[in-house]
Structure 1
């Protein structure tokens, strides 16, 4: 049912993407090896057999490269039906044996819960877009192997195109070079941010919530190929959940360090929330001091525990009673620009639930909403000027063999109508200090913004 075509190792994932990109619907999930020690696989594909998106028209589906048409089916039910047609697949070589790849936007939460609509919906990207991919290049950095994995339902002509393109040298891109046409500007001034935090503190004091994740959005005009922007960003900020998803006219560029949900073929689930951040230091001594400060911070540890408790509850909706555990609490993970405080929550899925059920039960991730989740989302909608779109949603693959991995789309940018948008946020609790929280948002994305603003200087 599954065919494996060996490929050379090492294999450059970005070059593979460029070879396959012309087939349409190209996606890459890149673990940024060897610069990121937390990832294992790179996954690259194109030419989905089917695609689904949830837009202002409703749920739309497309077969291969035909036109989109509207259906009245539930998105999760439809996607599960597509997966069911492929299997089950019992392949001893996970992670991906044909299945779904794509993104779930933060605003998909509006289709799962009744929420207000104060924030402006100024980006018209779909709230969900996934393709059914029946062939993919998998690079495994642990076993140091590469292969083209093909499901038996894949169209023979598409497989032949993959093999032909993979056997050719990478062609030089004819698309115009990426560059910014303006500097990044935020949708919130320092005063706006202060007033929003003051309102959050008032909600906390009134007992409405315990924690709110507040974000600001940075936007700039650009020209050229967004793929080139992602390549620049990946070099500046290698992370284990880097991803690039090409849409019809737009693109999602993600450099996320955070796992949302993982599920293996036996139903063992895990989520790894990030709560707690410090910038990296300029010297080894300062860097270690900042890391130690984060590990010992009562405020950050309390913030982390709040979200761990929320996620324990979310996993319990679909996991066996008594199986939900917290094997890791307050672990330090360090990236080029920040230190993070990370915990792990695990559980065993009930036999009648699928990875898609796990996503539905936990979406959106509690680490980027606050607690309690629904009230936090209501307050976010009140205080953030625009909706979040793909930011703080999830990018995922869900395989026919039952394995799933997904990210929280932080450190994620959206290219839409010649504007590029980048968000940064942080969890606000009762003892949050406004200047420190405001500065933290910049420390999270300054390396991304500065990398792209360098293209503005080069153009000028």
Structure 2
């Protein structure tokens, strides 16, 4: 069992994050508690003993200030690091007690499918290996440090915890207008091109996204806190890397692996929340009854059954819930649950390799949909539509689909919003959906973001 150091319960861990959020390789996996439906655990890590950064076919592995480079497969290199510290942690009430935390970009998934590298894609994988984690269980109202932590760091963390109550919110401000690529007219052209491919039988569904970007001044942590306040998600994250910050309020689980049991929960089908209880109820009912949205969801469920079936025991893949309505602060979604039992000898990285990028953000069939996305979207997706999460020393894993996610670097913040296009889709409705999904980002235009 991992070492356990009880801490005062962090009902609002974002207060601590304001004090430590820019520590080296600080990462916060966020439950969205208490507003986000289904959220339970917050996980804070920082100061990794090893980092892995993959870009342009090369992975840099840094330990103790020394860096080695390898052109081997990034997920294989990560698995080697995990195997070197493999621990049978056993039955634990805590989900994570050290291991790998980071992101696996959409473009890493493209590489795994043999698609050519796109210029400007940035790092395909940024993962730290951490000896300890501060974990909060909001259902049990408990917080604890788990894993191997030196006494000085533990004391420092306790001091930050007690000193953070009055920490001011970081200032953030957009310093220019938002650029939308494609704009509404160009999006319409791309939408009609997708319809051409659908009617020609190239594919059944394509996820088409728009990128919103703007220059900024201030601390990106302030932007993430503002986005989280507007629309907290149960699978959010704050990631502070050298030269890059990732801000996620994702509502969607990608892959969870716990004691050999696999769980994925694709989202397909979205409606904005209504301004009154009556309108909100009508919008939710309309989503539940939408044949078009249910068809989108079922297509992706079939794709994911095939993906996880590659590494699960034969006959173990099930769909316990199909097109369930789930309500979040800003939107309603249709969510399905797909489960399976990981085959003997398979690992979390094998599961990632089989499923990246997630089918809910590509379309079906996956490879052809990705080729169409490459043709119609003006630039690489990078972190957006990749996966953010952890793989523990015990082999367990939990990751999100990196939607509702922004990236800050070089003085610019970028956010993406998209949706699945099928034969029955209507151009105006699909464009409106991209706006609905961008509302947390668009809220950053409301003056200063404290």
Question: Could you state the TM-score of these two structures normalised by the residue count of structure 2?
Answer: 0.95
Tell me by how many angstroms 1:356 deviates: 1.3
2:323 is aligned, of 326, 330, 336, to 330
Q: Is the 8 A contact 1:304 1:330 kept in 2?
A: yes
Q: Is the 8 A contact 1:236 1:448 kept in 2?
A: no
Tell me by how many angstroms 1:158 deviates: 4.3
Q: Using the alignment, how far apart are the partners of 2:439 and 2:17 within structure 1?
A: 27
Q: Using the alignment, how far apart are the partners of 1:317 and 1:434 within structure 2?
A: 35
Residue of structure 1 in register with 2:3 after alignment? 3
1:420-431 matches, within 5 Å, as: 420-431=413-424
Query: What are the superposed Cα offsets for residues 368-412 of structure 1, whole Å, 9 maximum, x if unpaired?
Result: 000000000000000000110110001011111222111001100
- 1:76 and 2:69 aligned: no
Tell me by how many angstroms 1:315 deviates: 0.6
Query: What are the superposed Cα offsets for residues 273-309 of structure 1, whole Å, 9 maximum, x if unpaired?
Result: 0001111111111111111010001111111100000
SS in 1 for 2:319: strand
SS in 2 for 1:427: strand
1:59-458 matches, within 5 Å, as: 59-64=59-64, 66=65, 68-91=67-90, 92-116=92-116, 121-122=119-120, 125-151=122-148, 158-159=153-154, 161-166=156-161, 168-169=163-164, 172=167, 177-264=171-258, 266-449=259-442, 451-455=443-447
Q: Using the alignment, how far apart are the partners of 1:95 and 1:101 within structure 2?
A: 13
Q: Using the alignment, how far apart are the partners of 1:448 and 1:397 within structure 2?
A: 25
Residue of structure 1 in register with 2:38 after alignment? 38
Q: Using the alignment, how far apart are the partners of 2:53 and 2:33 within structure 1?
A: 31
SS in 1 for 2:447: helix
Query: What are the superposed Cα offsets for residues 196-244 of structure 1, whole Å, 9 maximum, x if unpaired?
Result: 1111111111111000000000011101110111111111111101101
Q: Is the 8 A contact 2:22 2:240 kept in 1?
A: no
Q: Using the alignment, how far apart are the partners of 1:247 and 1:22 within structure 2?
A: 8
Structure 1: stretches of 5+ with no match in the other structure: none
Q: Using the alignment, how far apart are the partners of 1:168 and 1:294 within structure 2?
A: 46
CA RMSD of aligned residues (A): 2.0
Tell me by how many angstroms 1:20 deviates: 3.3
Q: Using the alignment, how far apart are the partners of 1:249 and 1:278 within structure 2?
A: 35
Query: What are the superposed Cα offsets for residues 227-272 of structure 1, whole Å, 9 maximum, x if unpaired?
Result: 11111111111110110100101100001000000110x2100100
Q: Is the 8 A contact 2:110 2:357 kept in 1?
A: no
Structure 2: stretches of 5+ with no match in the other structure: none
Tell me by how many angstroms 1:85 deviates: 2.2
Residue of structure 2 in register with 1:15 after alignment? 15
SS in 1 for 2:191: helix
Tell me by how many angstroms 1:73 deviates: 2.9
Q: How many residues align?
A: 449
Tell me by how many angstroms 1:169 deviates: 4.3
Query: What are the superposed Cα offsets for residues 68-96 of structure 1, whole Å, 9 maximum, x if unpaired?
Result: 44223321112112112223232423311
SS in 1 for 2:3: strand
Q: Using the alignment, how far apart are the partners of 1:404 and 1:57 within structure 2?
A: 25
Q: Using the alignment, how far apart are the partners of 2:77 and 2:447 within structure 1?
A: 42
Residue of structure 1 in register with 2:47 after alignment? 47
Seen in structure 2, the aligned counterparts of structure 1 residues 238 and 430 have a Cα distance that, compared at 3 Å, is same
Seen in structure 2, the aligned counterparts of structure 1 residues 8 and 56 have a Cα distance that, compared at 3 Å, is same
SS in 2 for 1:455: coil
Q: Is the 8 A contact 1:89 1:97 kept in 2?
A: no
Q: Is the 8 A contact 2:11 2:138 kept in 1?
A: no
Q: Using the alignment, how far apart are the partners of 2:170 and 2:298 within structure 1?
A: 47
Q: Is the 8 A contact 1:19 1:171 kept in 2?
A: no
Q: Is the 8 A contact 1:182 1:220 kept in 2?
A: yes
Q: Is the 8 A contact 2:170 2:222 kept in 1?
A: no
Tell me by how many angstroms 1:176 deviates: 7.1
Q: Is the 8 A contact 2:18 2:221 kept in 1?
A: no
Q: Using the alignment, how far apart are the partners of 1:220 and 1:106 within structure 2?
A: 22
Q: Using the alignment, how far apart are the partners of 2:302 and 2:9 within structure 1?
A: 42
